[in-house]
């Protein structure tokens, strides 16, 4: 795929450059709680601004139902982008309507505009090729060149990700080029030992990547809500912990495969439990207790890996040459259940190997827990996209950028 450096070498002064970014930031009301994804697209936007392009930034936010919804407006993201660029950023109150047309037409060289949430138009996410294509045609009328830099959306066959690049000269932005380069380090000529730490709520979200990693990783560390399905598959008592009962047979098979293939599959040895899920807004103390992983009381639920498991996982990460971490070890948003995730994050910081934090909640945890982002080899902006790449799937947004 062609890169933005090739585009800049060709010259973009005066050209309208459509940048498909990922500004899908978490909001508390109208307040952005984590601006990491906005900061991730800054190198691409700044380079285009400095080269005199008229930059049209577009993104989705949340999952509106194909119609305008003020709760999912990109206005806060546009405002924050302006703060980070230290300059004005125009905002169009629609995607391809009168406001978008007027806003883009009013751009001078080196200026930036942000369009309203792409998913306010049903054509963005439609499964009908013609409907998606019609929306892509309207978006294409706003630009001369396309730059794909929304890595968090490249696994989606959406109009702005998949169909639009076919209608314009297209290039990969700095973020996508970086993300793909990192993922190749996890799939091609991997430096060993290669250790993968997987957490998060649902084991079903990770089964496909576990299937692939059983033939590639040296160790798999399992935490988060998904760990309890593994513990159940081992015959352990897990109380009222999160469980995907229908996935137990598949998990049993993977445990057997890991043993046969020589992959070290490491499960929690102790967990923090409570009788109820914590209030993440009030964050009042819940006084959890620590129990052995095979002895969760019948009326309690596991909410974090325990201190012995944190120490165990840190030891399993210590000698890693390559580490991929996706998914928190517990309910890190509450201080009572953050230490397991903190232990894994600290182990990555301490490791001399190449460490990749695989987006989503893992990236949010790193920031929430106060870690220096520069202490990690790479923090991905796309958890789902990273996982699908590691699964070996073809990602529509990357395929669309190929020449």
What is the SS3 assignment for 280? Answer: coil
**H helices within 11-85, ranges in order?**
36-50, 75-85
Closest CA to 16 of 111, 103, 143, 106: 143
Any idea of the CA torsion for 250, 252, 258, 261, to the nearest 10 degrees?
-80
The catalytic position among 202, 216, 234, 367 is 202
Q: Over pLDDT 70: what percentage of the chain? A: 100
Residues paired with residue 326 on neighbouring β-strands, in sequence order = 198
Residue 205 has a pLDDT of 87
Query: Annotated binding site for ATP, which residues?
Result: 206, 302, 333, 359-362
Q: 281 catalytic, yes or no?
A: no
Max alpha carbon distance in the chain (Å)?
A: 67
Residue 360 has a pLDDT of 75
Residue 49, both tokens: 């601004």
CB 41 within 8 A of CB 23: yes
Residue 78 has a pLDDT of 98
Tens of pLDDT, residue by residue over 81-106, are 999 999 999 999 999 999 999 999 99
Q: Model pTM?
A: 0.89
Which of the residue ranges 213-227, 262-276, 300-314, 351-365 would you say has the lowest mean pLDDT?
Answer: 351-365
Helix 174-187 crosses helix 383-390 at what angle (to 10 degrees)? Answer: 40
Residue 381 has a pLDDT of 87
Res. 338: pLDDT tops 80: yes
Architecture of domain 4-177: 3-Layer(aba) Sandwich (3.40)
Residue 34 has a pLDDT of 87
Which of the residue ranges 69-83, 96-110, 205-219 would you say has the lowest mean pLDDT?
Answer: 205-219
Closest CA to 8 of 56, 57, 44: 44
What is the SS3 assignment for 147? Answer: strand
Round to whole Å and give the CA distance between 117 and 124. Answer: 10
Query: Annotated binding site, which residues?
Result: 22-24, 37, 60-63, 119, 156, 206, 302, 333, 359-362
Q: 37 catalytic, yes or no?
A: yes
Q: 20 catalytic, yes or no?
A: no
Closest CA to 84 of 42, 22, 23: 42
**H helices within 193-247, ranges in order?**
207-213, 227-233
Sequence-ordered list of residues with C-beta below 8 angstroms from that of 22, at least 6 positions apart, any chain: 37, 40, 41, 59, 60, 149, 150, 151, 152, 153, 381, 382
Res. 239: pLDDT tops 90: yes
Strand residue runs (E) in 149-296: 170-172, 194-198, 219-222, 264-266, 270-274, 289-292
> Could you check whether 4-177 and 192-352 share the same CATH topology?
yes
CB 115 within 8 A of CB 95: yes
Instruction: Tell me which residue has tokens 């102790």.
Output: 270
CB 230 within 8 A of CB 200: no
Residue 71 has a pLDDT of 94
Round to whole Å and give the CA distance between 198 and 238. Answer: 19
Query: Annotated binding site for substrate, which residues?
Result: 22-24, 37, 60-63, 119, 156
Query: Annotated binding site for (2R)-3-phosphoglycerate, which residues?
Result: 37, 119, 156
What is the SS3 assignment for 114? Answer: strand
Round to whole Å and give the CA distance between 311 and 325. Answer: 16
Residue 29 has a pLDDT of 85
Distance of CA 37 to the CA centre of its chain: 9
Q: Over pLDDT 90: what percentage of the chain? A: 90
Whether cis (ω within 30° of 0) applies to the bond prior to 174 is no
Round to whole Å and give the CA distance between 349 and 77. Answer: 30
Res. 193: pLDDT tops 90: yes
Residues 379-392 have a mean pLDDT of 89
The pLDDT confidence band at residue 327, using thresholds 50, 70 and 90, is very high
Res. 364: pLDDT tops 90: no
Any idea of the CA torsion for 44, 45, 46, 48, to the nearest 10 degrees?
90
Round to whole Å and give the CA distance between 208 and 205. Answer: 8
Strand residue runs (E) in 276-380: 289-292, 301-305, 322-326, 354-357, 378-379
Round to whole Å and give the CA distance between 202 and 243. Answer: 8
Backbone angles phi and psi of 248, in degrees to 5: -60, -45
The catalytic position among 173, 340, 384, 397 is 384
More confident of the two residues 227 and 367: 227
Tens of pLDDT, residue by residue over 55-72, are 999 999 999 999 999 999
Looking at CATH, the fold of the domain delimited by 192-352 is given as Rossmann fold (3.40.50)
Average pLDDT of the chain? Answer: 95
The catalytic position among 16, 20, 37, 232 is 37
Rg of the chain, C-alpha, whole Å: 22
Res. 403: pLDDT tops 80: no
More confident of the two residues 215 and 1: 1
Q: 39 catalytic, yes or no?
A: no
Other beta carbons less than 10 A from residue 4's beta carbon:
26
Res. 402: pLDDT tops 90: yes
The catalytic position among 330, 340, 360, 383 is 360
Residues paired with residue 266 on neighbouring β-strands, in sequence order = 221
Res. 359: pLDDT tops 80: no
By the 10 Å C-beta count (0-12 exposed, 13-18 middle, 19+ buried), 31 is classed as exposed
């Amino acid at each position: 795929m062609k890169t933005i450096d090739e585009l800049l070498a060709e010259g973009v002064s005066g050209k309208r450059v459509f940048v498909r970014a990922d500004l899908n930031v978490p909001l508390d009301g109208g307040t952005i709680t984590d601006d990491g994804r906005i900061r991730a697209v800054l190198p691409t936007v700044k380079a285009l601004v400095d080269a005199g392009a008229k930059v049209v930034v577009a993104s989705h936010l949340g999952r509106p139902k194909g119609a305008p919804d003020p709760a999912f407006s990109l206005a806060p993201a546009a405002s924050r982008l302006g703060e980070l660029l230290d300059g004005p950023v125009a905002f169009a109150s629609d995607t391809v309507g009168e406001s978008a047309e007027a806003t883009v037409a009013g751009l001078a060289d080196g200026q930036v505009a942000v369009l309203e949430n792409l998913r306010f138009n049903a054509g963005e996410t439609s499964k009908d090729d013609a409907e998606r294509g019609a929306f892509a045609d309207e978006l294409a009328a706003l630009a001369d060149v396309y730059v794909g830099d929304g890595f968090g959306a490249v696994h989606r066959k959406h109009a702005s990700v998949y169909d639009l690049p076919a209608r314009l000269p297209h290039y990969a932005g700095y973020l996508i080029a970086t993300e793909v380069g990192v993922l190749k380090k996890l799939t091609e000529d991997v430096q060993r030992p290669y250790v993968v730490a997987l957490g998060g709520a649902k084991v079903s979200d990770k089964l496909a990547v576990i299937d692939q990693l059983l033939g590639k990783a040296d160790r798999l560390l399992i935490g988060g809500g998904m760990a309890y399905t593994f513990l159940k598959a081992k015959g352990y008592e897990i109380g009222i912990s999160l469980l995907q009962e229908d996935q137990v047979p598949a998990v049993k098979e993977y445990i057997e495969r890991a043993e046969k293939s020589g992959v070290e599959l490491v499960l929690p040895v102790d967990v923090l439990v409570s009788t109820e899920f914590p209030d993440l807004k009030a964050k009042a103390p819940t006084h959890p207790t620590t129990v052995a992983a095979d002895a969760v009381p019948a009326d309690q639920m596991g909410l974090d890996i325990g201190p012995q498991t944190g120490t165990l996982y840190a030891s399993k990460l210590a000698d890693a040459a390559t580490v991929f971490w996706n998914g928190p070890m517990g309910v890190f948003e509450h201080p009572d259940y953050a230490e397991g995730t903190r232990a894994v994050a600290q182990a990555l910081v301490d490791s001399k190997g190449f460490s990749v934090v695989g987006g989503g909640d893992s990236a949010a945890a790193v920031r929430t827990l106060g870690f220096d982002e520069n202490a990690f080899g790479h923090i991905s902006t796309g958890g789902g996209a990273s996982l699908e790449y590691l699964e070996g799937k073809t990602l529509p947004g990357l395929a669309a950028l190929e020449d």
